[in-house]
Structure 1
Amino acid sequence: MGLEVESRSSDSPYIERVWRSSSDDVNRMTSIAVTHVDLVFWEHRGQVNVAVHGPESRASPAPVPEDATFFGISFSLGTSMPHLPIDRLVDGAAEIPDATRRSFWLKGSTWRRPDYDNAEVFVRRLVREDVLVRDPIVAAVLGGASPDVSERTIQRRFVAATGLTRGAVRQIHRARQAAILIQEGVPAHDVIHRLGYFDQPHLARSLTRYIGRTATQLIDQDPSEPLSLLYKT
């Protein structure tokens, strides 16, 4: 009952996560803040839909169609589709037309619909066709390198590739990590120390803004309004 979610990691540098889910007896969830772009497929009452979902700068309630199935590819941070301007996708989505159970239309071509097991093959084709690109400077910074460019250039490239500032990306990632630790039973004062929050109110504000839950609500989860995908990186 509720929202059943399964996900897996990927060895593709263009993919953060591959996931699938189904809904049953739930009509709303809390969509937590994310920094990446998702390509999402879902089927409800025989209707197939496809959309590119952009980064979400804060948590928000989201409707869930009943008895629907979903499949998504979460692209790695800094990976985007240049023909869909990232600044227009932040806190929004772009619907993809002419979707069927077999195919859909993307950037002037018909594409075979991928599935949970062959997402990497599909993404490799997107890359070959220049539909999907990854900013090398953003990738280098995330990997711990120090590119030979100015901080101002790094900030500009982060915004251009992700739609978010580098500071916003850090805050969202930290809040997601805090939520996972709290769900694992780590006391709030330890979370504050580990992740560099100033104090309890600072942690509380971060969780409310980016996760849509207080620490207590994360511990006492309500199945009638589940969270969107939250996972360890």
Structure 2
Amino acid sequence: MGLEVESRPSDSPYIERVWRSRSSGGVDRMTAVACARGELVVWEHRGRMCAAVLGPESKASQAPVPEDATFFGITFSLGTWMPHLPFHRLVDRSADIPDPTRTSFWLKGTTWRLPGYDNAEEFVRRLVREEVVERDPVVAAVFRGESPDLSERTIQRHFVAVTGLTRVAVRQIDRARRAAILLQERTPVHDVIDRLGYFDQPHLARSLARYVGRTATRLAEGDPAEPLSLLYKT
């Protein structure tokens, strides 16, 4: 009973994670953790198909969990975006994809076969070929730890244009997600502070409250009645 989630990494430069989940009762809401990436999500509930492009989430929020629903999602890598549905306009929002079926949906004037957990990469390769999905080389390079020969102002413009978030905000969100994973693994709080560069315990607590919606204690103990959205190591 509850919410079962399965995910895997991807070797595609355009995809960070592929996931699927199933709700089977006992859980009616979850905490959606902040995420600097956009997603394509398809789900079925009571025979009805739905699909949407989700923009980056700048803070933690509550999300309903419909009973007996199945979900499939592609989390795009940082720097990947859809020019016709720019993520900077979808921060903390989503754009519904109209009238999906169990086999296809309509996106940017074309009918696309519904992707699945095992063929997400092929689906995204086609999106790239048809210029539905692009990857910003500046944001991608910075995320890899490189230092492009550009001014900080130019780099900032790329981050805001692609993600709707500043470079600092992206870094803070990613750090809070890493902190949440470490705390779930029962890493001592002082080790998390030292490892991730927080000033002190109140600084960590504020970050967790804003971006994860949990205290360090709740993360260590777990909360099956209200699960977190997908957390994973990059």
The answer to whether TM tops 0.5 is yes
Q: Give TM-score, length-normalised by structure 1.
A: 0.99
Task: Give the % identical residues.
Answer: 75
Which letter does structure 2 place at the counterpart of 1:38? E
Query: Are the equivalent residues in 1 in contact too, given 2:39–2:75 (CA < 8 A)?
Result: yes
Which letter does structure 1 place at the counterpart of 2:52? A
2:109 aligns with: 108
Is residue 2:119 matched to residue 1:135?
no
2:168 aligns with: 167
1:98 aligns with: 99
Gaps of 5+ in 2: none
Which letter does structure 1 place at the counterpart of 2:204? L
Output aligned runs, 1:26-65, within 5 Å: 26-65=27-66
Query: CA-atom RMSD, angstroms?
Result: 0.7
Which letter does structure 1 place at the counterpart of 2:11? D
- Could you tell me how far apart the structure 1 residues matched to 2:88 and 2:152 are? 21
- Could you tell me how far apart the structure 1 residues matched to 2:144 and 2:224 are? 36
- Could you tell me how far apart the structure 1 residues matched to 2:214 and 2:138 are? 33
- Could you tell me how far apart the structure 2 residues matched to 1:168 and 1:143 are? 17
- Could you tell me how far apart the structure 2 residues matched to 1:74 and 1:143 are? 17
- Could you tell me how far apart the structure 2 residues matched to 1:186 and 1:220 are? 12
1:20 aligns with: 20
1:87, CA displacement in angstroms?
Answer: 2.2
- Number of residues of Structure 1 aligned to a counterpart in Structure 2: 233
SS in 1 for 2:145: coil
1:219, CA displacement in angstroms?
Answer: 1.3
2:206 aligns with: 205
1:221, CA displacement in angstroms?
Answer: 1.2
Q: Which portions of structure 1, spanning 4 or more consecutive aligned residues, are displaced by more than 2 angstroms?
A: none
1:170, CA displacement in angstroms?
Answer: 0.4
- Could you tell me how far apart the structure 2 residues matched to 1:48 and 1:211 are? 29
- Could you tell me how far apart the structure 2 residues matched to 1:85 and 1:18 are? 21
- Could you tell me how far apart the structure 2 residues matched to 1:232 and 1:115 are? 22
Gaps of 5+ in 1: none
Which letter does structure 1 place at the counterpart of 2:8? R
SS in 1 for 2:84: coil
Query: Are the equivalent residues in 1 in contact too, given 2:86–2:162 (CA < 8 A)?
Result: no
Query: Are the equivalent residues in 1 in contact too, given 2:88–2:162 (CA < 8 A)?
Result: no
- Could you tell me how far apart the structure 2 residues matched to 1:224 and 1:75 are? 28
After superposition, the C-alpha distances for 1:111-164 in whole angstroms (9 at most, x for unaligned) are 000000000000000000000000011111111221121111000001101111
Q: Give TM-score, length-normalised by structure 2.
A: 0.98
**Larger CA deviation: 80-89 vs 198-207:** 80-89
SS in 1 for 2:156: helix
2:231 aligns with: 230
Query: Are the equivalent residues in 1 in contact too, given 2:8–2:19 (CA < 8 A)?
Result: yes
Which letter does structure 1 place at the counterpart of 2:132? V
- Could you tell me how far apart the structure 2 residues matched to 1:152 and 1:87 are? 17
